[in-house]
């Protein structure tokens, strides 16, 4: 992962020029260029964010659930802390009983994860959205993965789809590896090291390459459209 920091938003809200990124990828990898030609224009969309607490709380609720069921549970949890966002929501969550949260549909593990997220938000370990935008990628990942229930993949998805970072390559993602195998005609499922090695050619725009690999399989990760709703 690079030490990329966010700069002023460009077209589409990204922290980089997407046209420059495509040109770089075409020049650096002929096989990837053919995939770009086949898929067409870069159409990755960023999702809104009110705070990292809201985004991560939603991510925790959605883990390992069908989107419709997760949305229903998330709505019930939000109803317990209405009209709050960010620090206020984290503070409000600490006042909600375990029984009420379990009644909303949370498993015990997710309840504990939300409790930990709230505590780490209130003590400043989980950065504010403004602070996260000034941090490099690995610093964001390091902070967020210390929260119970938040792994590297979740942090990488936040960097890509919420902060618009240019150089994220989630090599452990099944869709990325499957798309890589399709694009590079591998007879067996590539291992993360294969993707990581080839991805060195794509720096500093590996997020764009990742989007095209997902498109090769039509398996772009489902990211909730709205945070904290």
Q: How far apart are CA 155 and CA 163, in angstroms?
A: 11
| DSSP annotation of 222 | P
> Which tokens hold the place of 71?
């949305």
Q: Which residues are catalytic?
A: 173
- Residues 6+ away with beta carbon under 8 Å from 6: 15, 133, 134, 163, 164, 165
Let me know if 185 is exposed, middle or buried by CB neighbors in 10 A (0-12, 13-18, 19+).
exposed
Rounded alpha-carbon distances, angstroms, from residue 34 to 13, 26, 45, 209: 26, 8, 22, 12
Spatial contact of 93 and 124, defined as CB atoms under 8 Å apart: no
Cβ–Cβ under 8 Å, residues 34 and 111: no
């Amino acid at each position: 992962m690079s030490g990329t920091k966010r700069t002023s938003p460009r077209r589409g809200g990204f922290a980089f020029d997407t046209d420059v990124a495509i040109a770089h990828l075409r020049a650096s990898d002929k096989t990837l260029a053919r995939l770009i030609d086949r898929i067409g224009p870069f159409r990755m969309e960023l999702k809104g964010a009110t705070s990292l607490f809201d985004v991560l709380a939603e991510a925790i609720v959605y883990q390992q659930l069908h989107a419709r069921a997760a949305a229903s549970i998330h709505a019930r949890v939000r109803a317990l802390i209405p009209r709050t966002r960010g620090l206020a929501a984290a503070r409000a969550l600490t006042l909600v009983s375990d029984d009420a949260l379990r009644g909303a549909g949370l498993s015990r593990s997710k309840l504990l994860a939300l409790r930990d997220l709230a505590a780490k938000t209130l003590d400043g370990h989980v950065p504010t959205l403004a602070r996260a935008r000034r941090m490099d990628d690995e610093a964001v990942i390091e902070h967020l993965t210390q929260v119970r229930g938040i792994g590297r993949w979740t942090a990488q998805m936040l960097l890509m789809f919420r902060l618009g970072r240019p150089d994220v390559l989630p090599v452990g993602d099944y869709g990325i590896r499957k798309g890589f195998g399709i694009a590079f005609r591998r007879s067996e499922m590539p291992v993360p090291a294969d993707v990581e090695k080839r991805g060195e050619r794509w720096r500093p725009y590996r997020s764009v390459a990742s989007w095209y690999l997902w498109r090769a399989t039509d398996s772009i990760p489902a990211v909730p459209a709205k945070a904290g709703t």
